[in-house]
């Protein structure tokens, strides 16, 4: 197994001691493993903030392409998985909060809409640290996406934080209610 594979495996497992040792032995901090993933990519998506900080301190590019198909960034992966501490570490490292990656994903939209209810703590952190609450991804804001997916608690949270209640958000909520009429009233 190549040293890069060991580094990525250690980062994915959250083993900061082994990550530091492998880098000291010459593992390139941004080297991709045999399937094209980096240590930062997997540490961010798996939720290991201490490893993320270690890799960034060692020179890892915090805005590198990440994800299975290199479509994302470490921040977008962390936001989508609700890895709040990792999101904080990446913001501390200077990562911008605008649309990113090949897909132009907006971290706030991902945090607000991933999973069954979004990730409220991650949304709070992103907003507290300066994310634009009305930023659009594929022509929809986080509020519009949350309404479209029927995530009532997230809609409330975003409105409470000052999201603009657009006609598109209202229409999305109405469409969701119509699609799920039987589920909502039973």
What are the boundaries of each domain within the chain?
1-98, 106-186
Element (H, E) at 122: helix 120-128
Task: Calculate what percentage of the chain has a pLDDT beyond 70.
Answer: 96
Determine the length of the chain.
Answer: 186
Fold of 106-186: 1.25.40
> What's the CATH number of domain 1-98, 3.90.1720.10, 2.60.40.420, 1.25.40.20, 3.30.9.10?
1.25.40.20
pLDDT reading at 185 higher than 50: no
Give the model's pLDDT for residue 157: 95
Query: In a 3-state reduction of DSSP, which class is residue 141?
Result: strand
What average pLDDT does this structure show over 65-77?
91
CA 185 to chain centre: 33
Model confidence pLDDT, tens digit, residues 23-66: 999 999 999 998 899 999 999 999 999 999 999 999 999 999 98
Is the model more confident about 118 or about 179?
118
Measured CA angle at 99 (ends 98, 103), to 5 deg: 165
The mean pLDDT of the chain is 90
Give the model's pLDDT for residue 1: 62
**What is the residue whose two structure tokens read 């990550």?**
19
Model confidence pLDDT, tens digit, residues 134-171: 998 899 999 999 998 888 899 999 999 999 888 887 77
pLDDT reading at 94 higher than 70: yes
pLDDT reading at 106 higher than 70: yes
pLDDT reading at 125 higher than 90: yes
Query: What confidence tier does 183 reach under pLDDT thresholds 50, 70, 90?
Result: low
What average pLDDT does this structure show over 123-139?
94
């Amino acid at each position: 197994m190549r040293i890069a594979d060991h580094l990525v495996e250690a980062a994915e497992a959250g083993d900061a001691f082994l990550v530091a040792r492998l880098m000291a032995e010459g593992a390139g901090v941004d080297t991709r493993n045999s399937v094209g993933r980096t240590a930062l990519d997997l540490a961010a998506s798996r939720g290991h903030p201490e490893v993320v900080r270690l890799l960034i301190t060692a020179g890892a590019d915090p805005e590198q392409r990440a994800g299975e198909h290199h479509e994302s960034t470490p921040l977008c992966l962390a936001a989508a998985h609700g890895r709040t501490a990792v999101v904080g570490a990446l913001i501390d490292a200077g990562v911008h909060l605008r649309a990113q990656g090949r897909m132009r994903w907006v971290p706030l939209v991902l945090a607000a809409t991933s999973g069954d209810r979004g990730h409220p703590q991650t949304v709070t952190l992103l907003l507290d640290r300066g994310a634009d609450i009305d930023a659009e991804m594929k022509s929809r804001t986080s509020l519009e996406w949350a309404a479209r997916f029927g995530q009532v608690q997230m809609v409330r949270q975003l409105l409470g934080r000052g999201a603009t209640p657009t006609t598109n958000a209202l229409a999305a909520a109405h469409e969701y209610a119509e699609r799920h009429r039987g589920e909502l009233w039973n």
